[in-house]
Amino acid sequence: MLTFKEFAEFCSSLEKISSTLEITAKIASFLRKIDDDSDLYNVVLFLMGKVYPSWDERELGIGIGLLYEALKIATGVEKSKIENLLRETGDLGIVAETLIRKKKQLTLFQEELTIRKVREIFDEISSLTGEGSQKRKVKLLVDLYIASTPIEARYLTRLILGEMRLGVGEGIIRDAIAKAWGISSELVERAYMITNDFGRVAIVAKNEGRKGLEKLKIQLHIPVKMMLAQVAESIDSAIREMKKVGVEWKFDGTRVQIHWGNGKVTIYSRRLENVTSALPEIVDEVKKVVKGEVILDGEAVAIKDGRPMPFQHILRRFRRKHEIGKMLEKIPIKVYLFDILYINGEEIIDKPLKERRAILESIVEKSEKITVADQVVTDSVEKVEEIYNQALDAGHEGVMMKNLNSPYIPGKRGKNWLKLKPVMENLDLVVVGGEWGEGKRSHLISSFELACRDEYGRLLRVGKVATGFTDDELEELTELFKPLIEYQEGKVIKFRPYYVFEVAYQEIQKSPKYESGFALRFPRFIRLREDKSIEEADTIERIAKLYESQFKSKRL
C-alpha cells in the first residue's frame, strides 16, 4: 500500500524538473509501480490536484479559513502569523510545511499516513453537511496535520486547495498513462473524453490494456465531454467545404447535457458540473416529454417575453442551490436540444449527424420548456444569411453550421461545427488597479483593473483583465506600472490612472460589482494603447450602446 509520504516525496521530485517529457516519463514509471487499483486511482487524481472528477457532486468544501483554523490548532501558531508567512511565500503549502516542521521537533510518535487513509478522510469530509459540519471538518484536518510529516503537510494543503503547483495537467497525465502501459495517447484521450475520469482510465489501462480502453463506452449519468465549434471563416467557405450545411440558431444560453434513464435525470453544464438541482422544472419536463433512456445535448436559455435574457441570468440559476422556487418564476428556462449521443443502451456518437437528428426528433415531444432546435439543410448562402439575421433579431448569438455526415466527437473543437456570430468591437479602457500574481508570478502584476469614463471624466470600473499577456509583456507592464502604484493592500494595487489598454471581450453584462454597472465577460488584453490618453478612453455611453446592441439586431 502506498504511503502518502512516498507520494509527497515523488511530487517534490517533480518540482525540480522543468521538461514536460521528463515529468511525463517519471510519472509513467511511478504509476506503473502501483499495484493497488484504488491507490492508482487516487494518485492519478491527486497529481492533478483533484480529489474527485469534475462531474462528481462531492467536494471537500474547505476554504482557506478552515485551513487556517486547522493549522492554528494543529501547530499552536496564531492566524496572523500564518497570514504573514503566507504573504512572504505566497504558498500555503510551504507555510504548512514550515509550521509542521517546527512543531514536529517535539512529537515522538506518529502513525504513517497512507494514500488510502487520506482518501477515506477526504470522503468523510465531503460527506459532512449541516450543523456542526465545519467543526468536524476542522477536527479531521487537524488529525491529518498531526499525522503528517512536513513534506506531507505541503502536498496535503496544496491538494485541499486544488493546486499542486507541479505543472501536471491533463495532457501530461494522458501521456503518462499511455507511456506506462504502452498505449497510444489518442486512445487514452478518447477514453478520457468518454469517462471524464483519468483515474478510471488508468485502472482500465493497467488491467486490460488497449483492448479494455477501446471497449469503454459512454454510460448514463457519467458526463461526456461536449463537442465544440470552430469559428466559421465565412458562410461561403463553410458551404464549399460541407456542400450542404445543417443550419441552426446559435442560442444565447448555456450548454447542457441531459442524461435520462434508470428512473432519474441528471444534467451537466459545459464544464461537466452536475447542475441537476438547479433545474428541477427541466428534470420534470424531460421525464414527461422524452422517450427512452438517452443522453441529449442542448442549450438552456433563460427566456422572458419570448426573448433570451442576458447570459448571466442562467448562470445565476446554476449557482443557486436554495430558494429555487423563487428563481423559477423570475428566470424561466427553455432547453433547445440539438444532439443525441446514446439511446437505450446504445452509444450512437459514430452515426452521422443526420441520423442522430432523426432519432432525436422521434423521441422528443415538443413542449413549452423543451424542444428540438430547428435545423434547415441548405447549400444557399442567402438562406444561411436569412437564418443568421432571424437569430440575431430574436436576440440570439448567430448560427451554427453543421456537417450532416459528421460523427459526434466528444471534446473536439473541430471543423464539423462552425459558428458564425458578430464580433464585438474592442474597447479602450483606463487601467486603474491591479493585483500581484501568485507562485512563479508573484513578482509580476498579473491582472489589471479597467475603467471607462463618464461624461464628467470620472473613471468607472468595468472589469479585470488577466489573460492575453505573454510573460514578457507582463514583465514589461510590471516595470511600466510600478511607478504608478498609489497604494497597496495585500496583493491588491491601486494605480494612478495613466495608461489605456485595448481589450477584446465576449460580451458586456450588467453587473452590480462595478460602479459602471457593467462587466466585461472574458476580457482579453490586446495591446497597450500608449498612443491614447485616458481622456480618449471609451465612455460609459459607448459601453451602454454596445450592451444594448447585443440584444437588438446584431450584424456582422
Report the catalytic residues. Answer: 250
* Position among 248, 285, 428, 449 found at the interface with ligand AMP (CB under 6 A): 248
User: What's the burial of 236, exposed, middle or buried (CB within 10 Å: 0-12/13-18/19+)?
Assistant: exposed
Q: Which of residues 408-427 bind ligand AMP (CB under 6 A)?
A: 419
Cell numbers representing residue 224 in the block: 461526456
Given the rule CB under 6 A, which of 33-41, 76-84, 131-139, 248-256 is the region that contacts ligand AMP? 248-256
Query: Which span (73-81, 247-255, 356-364, 445-453) binds ligand AMP, by CB under 6 A?
Result: 247-255
Q: Cβ of residue 373: shortest distance to ligand AMP, in angstroms?
A: 5
Strand partners, 464: 449
Given 58, 244, 270, 316, the residue binding ligand AMP (CB under 6 A): 270
Q: Which of 17, 86, 228, 504 binds ligand AMP (CB under 6 A)?
A: 228
Task: List, in order, residues 6 or more apart from 258 with CB less than 8 Å away.
Answer: 265, 266, 267, 282, 286, 290, 294, 295, 296, 297, 298, 335, 337
Nearer to ligand AMP, 248 or 449 (CB): 248
- Candidates 66, 74, 303, 373; binder of ligand AMP (CB under 6 A) is 373
Q: Map residue 19 onto helix, strand or coil.
A: coil
Residue with cell 422544472: 281
Tell me whether residue 403 or residue 516 sits nearer to ligand AMP (CB atom): 403
**What is the three-class DSSP state of 86?**
helix
Residue with Cβ nearer ligand AMP (90 or 414): 414
User: Taking CB under 6 A as the criterion, which residues in 336-355 touch ligand AMP?
Assistant: 338
Q: Where are the alpha helices (DSSP H) in 222-337?
A: 235-242, 280-289, 311-319, 324-330
Smallest distance from the beta carbon of 85 to ligand AMP, in angstroms? 41
Query: Per CB under 6 A, which of residues 80..119 are in contact with ligand AMP?
Result: none
Residue 428 C-beta: closest distance to ligand AMP, Å: 24
Binding window for ligand AMP (CB under 6 A); candidates: 59-67, 212-220, 249-257, 302-310? 249-257
Closest CA to 223 of 272, 286, 283, 276: 272
**Residue 296 CB, nearest approach to ligand AMP (Å):** 12
Our CB check for ligand AMP shows the closer of 206 and 250 to be 250
Dig out the grid coordinates for 157 from the structure.
494543503
- Nearest in space to 521 (alpha carbons), one of 271, 229, 311, 228: 311
Q: Is 255 exposed, middle or buried (0-12, 13-18, 19+ CB in 10 A)?
A: middle
What is d(CA 23, CA 145) in angstroms, rounded to the nearest whole number?
28
DSSP line for 169-216: -HHHHHHHHHHHTT--HHHHHHHHHHH--HHHHHHHHHHHHHHHHHH-
- If the CB atoms of residues 228 and 381 are measured against ligand AMP, the closer one turns out to be 228
Give the nearest residue (CB) to ligand AMP: 255
Q: Which is nearer to ligand AMP, 26 or 270 (CB)?
A: 270
Tell me the longest C-alpha to C-alpha distance in the chain. 80
Composition of the chain by helix, strand, coil, percent to 5: 45, 25, 35
**Stretch in the footprint of ligand AMP (CB under 6 A) among 148-156, 180-188, 246-254, 271-279:** 246-254
Select the residue interacting with ligand AMP from 201, 229, 290, 500 (CB under 6 A): 229
As measured in angstroms, the least distance from the Cβ of 151 to ligand AMP is 42
Residue 12 C-alpha cell reads as 517534490
Question: What value does the CA radius of gyration of the chain take, rounded to a whole number of Å?
Answer: 26
| Beta carbon of residue 251, minimum distance to ligand AMP (angstroms, whole number) | 4
Residue 487 φ then ψ, to 5°: -160, 165
> DSSP alpha helices (H): ranges in 293-447?
311-319, 324-330, 353-363, 381-393
Position among 255, 320, 491, 521 found at the interface with ligand AMP (CB under 6 A): 255
Residue 171: closest CA among 144, 194, 189, 153: 189
Distance separating alpha carbons of residues 8 and 144, to the nearest angstrom: 14
> Which of 419/510 has CB closer to ligand AMP?
419
Q: Among 400, 427, 462, 465, which residue sits at the site for ligand AMP (rule: CB under 6 A)? A: 400
CB of 248 to ligand AMP, least distance (A): 4
Of 68 and 338, nearer to ligand AMP (C-beta) is: 338
Q: Is 532 in the site for ligand AMP (CB under 6 A)?
A: no
The Cα–Cα gap between 227 and 93 comes to 37
Q: Which stretch binds ligand AMP (CB under 6 A): 32-40, 245-253, 285-293, 525-533?
A: 245-253
Q: Give the DSSP letter of residue 489.
A: E
Q: Please identify, among the stretches 109-117, 198-206, 250-258, 527-535, the one whose residues bind ligand AMP according to the rule CB under 6 A.
A: 250-258
Nearer to ligand AMP, 116 or 270 (CB): 270
**Shortest Å distance, C-beta 255 to ligand AMP:** 3
Q: Which of residues 291-330 bind ligand AMP (CB under 6 A)?
A: 299
Could you tell me if 218 and 341 are in contact, meaning their C-beta atoms sit under 8 angstroms apart?
yes
> What H or E segment, with its residue span, contains residue 473?
helix 471-481
Contact positions with ligand AMP (CB under 6 A) in 430-469: none
Which set of grid coordinates corresponds to residue 523?
476580457
Q: Which is nearer to ligand AMP, 248 or 428 (CB)?
A: 248
Do residues 301 and 308 lie in contact, with contact meaning Cβ atoms separated by under 8 Å?
Answer: yes
Cβ atoms 5, 114 nearer than 8 A: no
Q: Give contact residues for ligand AMP (rule: CB under 6 A).
A: 228-229, 248, 250-251, 255, 270, 299, 338, 373, 400, 419
